[in-house]
Structure 1
Amino acid sequence: MQLIEQTKQFKQHLDYLMKIYEKNSPPESKSDKEFFLKVKEETLPVYRLIEKWEKEALQTIKDRKVNVHPHQISSTKENMELLLMHSYYIDVKRRRYMELNHSIHYILAQLIRELE
């Protein structure tokens, strides 16, 4: 099933973002155009994946193949978009970052469990 693969890829990206968050330091200036273009280039494939993932997940829920609320899928997508930026710009406290990270992991794990 395509959704399982997308969810596993999503999870890999989430783990990679955590490494970036822990390894990098904030940019010198938040208005650094070169840094912005680098971030944009690196995150574009992830944005595309989460768009596809959301559509697939919502359709799967609509078909009643999994027992997850549609709002949880939308929130997970929004949280991932937040983490994408926070991972590069390091502009939130670690506690908030970890809350978002755990929230996303929880929904992804639940989705994988129900799909397998």
Structure 2
Amino acid sequence: MSKKTVVLGASENPSRYSYLAVNKLRAYGHPVVAIGNKKGVIGDIAITTERPEEKNTDTVTLYLNPQLQQHYYDYILSLKPKRIIFNPGTENDELEELAKSNGIQVMEACTLVLLGTGQY
């Protein structure tokens, strides 16, 4: 089952985990919306600097440090995702509480590991 995923903090730098995540999500058949601080491309996915309105978002996976996440709180909540994945280094108690109070599941996990182990 495909799960539309918004990757927040996407980078076209191949050494970044967000780059690897976008590629792996696509390889597993998940639709991806990539949002970064610079426009670019990862495979067939354009990285936007905008905050596109998205419907039916299953997952938001974070590759931004907590200070940069603050600028996206309203946007993340407006997507009404089923869950938010806080990848290592992105843990944020404030956003986790906001998400939980809006009925959004939170996970402190690695998207790459979840995909690789069939837990995504």
Q: Shared fold by TM > 0.5? A: no
Larger Rg: 1
TM-score, normalised on structure 1? 0.28
TM-score, normalised on structure 2? 0.27
Flag the structure with higher strand content.
2
